A and B are shown apart, each in its own frame.
Chain A
């Protein structure tokens, strides 16, 4: 996390000369990057905690209707983000079932919607990865007297690139989607130019709407660079363990 933040800082700094037109631009861009990262990383972390065990559970067991469950997960991978945004808005709105928590137009609501978006991706890709592991690996772990947890850990270790790909795909989906965070977050920045619920994607949409295409392009470049940096870090970690 610390490494990610300093990398982001570098990215923001690298672009600073391009965006001197606005008095609060530097601070504005940095706070947007931070909100984007906070929301997407949190959502993806929770999605991984939920999605990975579910993938293991489905992957290792046989039950009636397994095909249907897998089909549902795969459908969820392509679920339109605006529809998710709409449903989450209904849920967190004052009138909805979660209305009492006062979540509408907050980063928590955005995390919730990105969680809904990223979980099927992480589950689906991890599921494919763990089912692709040779049965022999698990049999060997079991024969060596491993508990169920040990067997699961060995499988995850063997399938780590697949699982990592799933997490990355989930993160990519979360950080680059605009539909749901715009609806449930409201694209809010405070009067002094600090992002409250404004992410890179919703900021790009806003800048383009106002005809400030240069700022939109700079934000777009930061978004792309960010995804590249995250990919690089994860690949490095993955590579270190082989």
Chain B
């Protein structure tokens, strides 16, 4: 009686309708009908020197018009051959036989060419290459090292990786996902080095994506992640080709998405989120110091405010006497409890952070003044927050920016709020309960079915050389054990 009607998405409906086209042969009338009401679609008829008539169908906004003239129209106009396709030698020509194929090619920037005498349809690839050029990375800036970054052009992104890894073993498999967007996805890996399990898992996951729009690599990652409800990213999003090349070199597959300047690397672990390309440029002692500093900053950004709440609410006895005097003096006039005081300040800080991201660059200074002077100083003078808390919030905010991964920074904020609540209820004990839950959660996470908290749990001792410190490159003779690469050693000459 209440039988559920099976729903089909828009994309699926279109696919079903084009399903009819799968076996339908192409006719000029049908194609004219298909491009009807498309302002940028053009259907042009030309006559060759030997009086042959040919028809061109293309979408003007998708093709390179300059090349259309020089590579197709001119050669065809001067063509003396019987076969029209033989005249066009500058571009890639493919014969097509079905309507579906014709539509797909047309919408991906090819021109359809109809030989009226031979009754043959073919497509000429003339995709408009215009787009953003190779620019400097804005999300992962480094002082030294390569400056180039990915753009929205998939082919260009592949070439940036191939330039760094000129190997025939560097394979790239192409997929199309998104019933509406038909987004091209490329899975890259080094054959004979990357663990085949990772490749097959990634392949299966990409194939299983069933959604109408995949416009960004983050959307693809959301469908491929093992744990959707976690705050932690399970793929490394990077717009740096050198990071991808390194990931491929240690035995990870890389996924590139068309029209997205961010590639996905997996499997990753929690500690990858604290690594920066600069780690491998600096001297190892300096790089290790920088990396430890990042971990310490992460802990500071996470724990400083909850600890303030815990100490001032539950454990005054833990505060050394001299500091206690300062604290009592600054807090004596405040109407709010430490928890509410901290919560309000943290929320305000988050609002300022978010505003600084959305505001135009020129307004940044104004925001700095408002955030720093008005909110900071005025809050203290108005008696809403203690000076000690303002200092701690400032340190905590600055410390959070040291984590190189932006997605991780956002996750840190959320965890900080949870720890704050636990600290207000159970003091230091509550903070450690939160940390236990956090570690247990991380311990259970996986990235491409591989443990997320490795090399700590499961324990891989040799991988610790590139964990909290960045050991000398000469000592890192083996690829990370946790990735189970097919070639363990990084050196090629026999030792």
Chain B associates with chain A: no
- Interfacial residues, chain B to chain A (CB-CB below 8 A): none
